[in-house]
Amino acid sequence: MNKLLILLKANVINTLKLNKLRNKSTGKISPLALFLAFLVAAIAFGFAFMYLFMFADLFSKQGLAALILPLGITAGSIVTLMTTLTTANGYLFRSSDFDMLMALPVKPRTVFSSKLFYLLLINYITLFFVYFPTIIVYAVYNQTDWIFWTLALPVFVLFPLGIIALGSVLSFLIGSVTSRFRYRNFLSLILTLGFFIFIMALSFGSSAIDENPSKFSEDMFRILNKIKVGTLVYESLLGNWTQLLLFLALSFLPFAGFVYLVGRSYVKASMRSRISYTRKHFKMRTMKKSTQDWALFKREVKKYFSSNIYIMNTIVGPILTTIALVVMAFRMQPLIDQIAQGGLSPEAFPFVLTAIFAFMLGITSTTSCSLSLEGRQFWIIRSSPVSERQIFRAKILVNLMISVPFVLIDVIIANFIIKIPILYSLFMFLIPSLLAFFMSYLGLFINILFPRFDYENETKAVKQSLSVLLTMIFGFVGSALVLVPGFLVTANTGNSIFGYLIELGIEALLIGIVAYLLYSYGTKRYRKLVV
């Protein structure tokens, strides 16, 4: 147990970089780090409460106020399952520190337990921002008793266990199967995106909320009854002892079986998951040559598409926005016509859609971790006969390659939904595209300031690094600085052209500032980086 605690403590400190957050003189965590953690937590709670209160108000008007609890629980289970599916195989079985840990005087079962406990910790933190807001919102709209509040914490502790066991097994099986194919990352990406598309089809396929709230509530009720997870937890919290015993069995027994079976054969499972595709018929071909810029760009593209977690963390937002627009084009035209008849100016539609496109591109960037993903091979690119500007340009172009085409597709789809003048369509394309430029420079600059080369799994660099978190925060702030003034100018003057021009001016200013910082201070900082 002592060795397990030591491994778990070292894992948490190394992953969260707690030592770097401490003041060297006092040894205490800096106030800035605490403020950023509080800010992120407040934003996450704010979004959770906003959506839950919106659905709870809708359900209560239809006499289904109790539906908010199974809805929140189901959402939490989906988040837990997706977190586990995308991280379990790489973290539990394919981590780069496997050889080092196996050389330590600890049993393989202890190593596996330390990694599993950390995976549990990550899922508990994620679930915390969904589960407890759901409990509170449910209590606002429904009567609760002492049994409900007594079981709330034990249910939270047990709830993710079965889902994590299931997700880990599926992640291992998917990784084992796809590793035998040449395009394994592409297959994993297709499977994961297919799941997201399925969830969106459930969300939009029934009916528009504002168009027919009664039918939406009824459809949601039927969907949640089919999924069963939220209903089971809901009835357990209400004191249905039969359902509670079933919930305990479904949560604890699969998890215990998973721990026992994998703990016994952890080394074999890890070695089996590391089997990779090898080309059986190799042919010697003439080596092609290209310019330095083109070679660097191709290198960054290959690195991007070789990491499933890297793709999922950066491309899902633009893809889901496009899918939502496609659904709107086929499903929501009557709703749009009703809103237009209600007196809303047609100019407001492209303005709102522009804000949505820009916001989706303003919270993520491939460059926020592109330097960290160089890892311990950072010396290779550092020693190459290329300039810093060429390296920066290649990483920036990858982000633009991922984001700008989706903006163009979104604008084309939007023109099928409603008739948009050419000038407005141009603004709809320019404003999100320029914001993508801003995020490209911003993400790379922050990643140079806070690189992370000592990771043993790509998930830590892509999803759990300080540079990614700061890029999201500053990207959100930058999006607000661009969109809010434009909205205020449009609302006060009634002319959206002025609003668009204000947004373009602010974007040009932000891009100029961040580009200057990147190519001046960022270049100097880059030259001093060591692995």
Going by pLDDT thresholds of 50, 70 and 90, the confidence category of residue 520 is very high
The predicted pLDDT at position 218 comes to 55
Q: 398 pLDDT exceeds 70?
A: yes
Cβ atoms of 4 and 116 within 8 Å: the answer is no
Stated length of the chain: 531
Q: What is the mean pLDDT of residues 406-413?
A: 87
Report the chain's mean pLDDT, rounded to a whole number.
78
Cβ atoms of 462 and 369 within 8 Å: the answer is yes
Q: 115 pLDDT exceeds 90?
A: no
Which residue, 47, 393, 332, is CA-closest to 206?
332
SS3 content of the chain, % helix, strand, coil (to 5): 80, 0, 20
Q: Which residues contact 166 (CB under 8 A, 6 or more apart)?
A: 81, 84, 254
Buried residues in 360-377 as b, exposed as e (16+ CB within 10 A): bbbebbbbbbbbbbbbee
CA-to-CA separations, 21 to 218, 219, 394, in angstroms, rounded = 49, 48, 31
Cβ atoms of 328 and 417 within 8 Å: the answer is yes
Q: 447 pLDDT exceeds 70?
A: yes
The predicted pLDDT at position 206 comes to 44
Cβ atoms of 397 and 296 within 8 Å: the answer is no
113/264 Cα distance (integer angstroms): 11
In this prediction the pTM is 0.66
58/142 Cα distance (integer angstroms): 14
302/116 Cα distance (integer angstroms): 31
Across 174-178, 189-193, 281-285, 400-404, the highest mean pLDDT is recorded for 400-404
Q: 233 pLDDT exceeds 50?
A: yes
Read off the tokens for 30: 């800096």
Q: 219 pLDDT exceeds 70?
A: no
286-333 pLDDT per residue, tens: 767 778 888 889 888 888 887 777 887 787 778 777 776 776 666 555
- Residue with structure tokens 């407001």? 348
Q: What is the mean pLDDT of residues 65-82?
A: 80
Going by pLDDT thresholds of 50, 70 and 90, the confidence category of residue 495 is confident
The predicted pLDDT at position 346 comes to 53
Would you call 216 exposed, middle or buried from its count of C-beta atoms within 10 A (0-12, 13-18, 19+)?
buried
Which element (helix H / strand E) includes 484?
helix 466-493
Cβ atoms of 114 and 7 within 8 Å: the answer is yes
Q: 386 pLDDT exceeds 60?
A: yes
Cβ atoms of 456 and 95 within 8 Å: the answer is yes
Which element (helix H / strand E) includes 317?
helix 308-331
Strands (E), 138-191: none
142-186 pLDDT per residue, tens: 888 888 888 888 888 888 888 888 888 887 777 676 666 655 566
254/69 Cα distance (integer angstroms): 24
- Count the Cβ atoms, other than its own, within 10 Å of residue 488: 12
Would you call 302 exposed, middle or buried from its count of C-beta atoms within 10 A (0-12, 13-18, 19+)?
exposed
Beta-bridge partner residues of 22: 29
What DSSP string describes 212-239? -HHHHHHHHHHHHHHH-HHHHHHHHHTT
356-384 pLDDT per residue, tens: 778 777 777 889 888 988 888 888 888 88
Rounded (10°) angle between helices 422-449 and 466-493:
150
Cβ atoms of 70 and 230 within 8 Å: the answer is yes
Q: 62 pLDDT exceeds 60?
A: yes
Across 95-104, 344-353, 472-481, the highest mean pLDDT is recorded for 472-481
Which stretches within 62-96 are classed as H helix?
Answer: 68-88
The predicted pLDDT at position 331 comes to 55
Dihedral sign computed on CA atoms, order 216, 218, 222, 228: positive
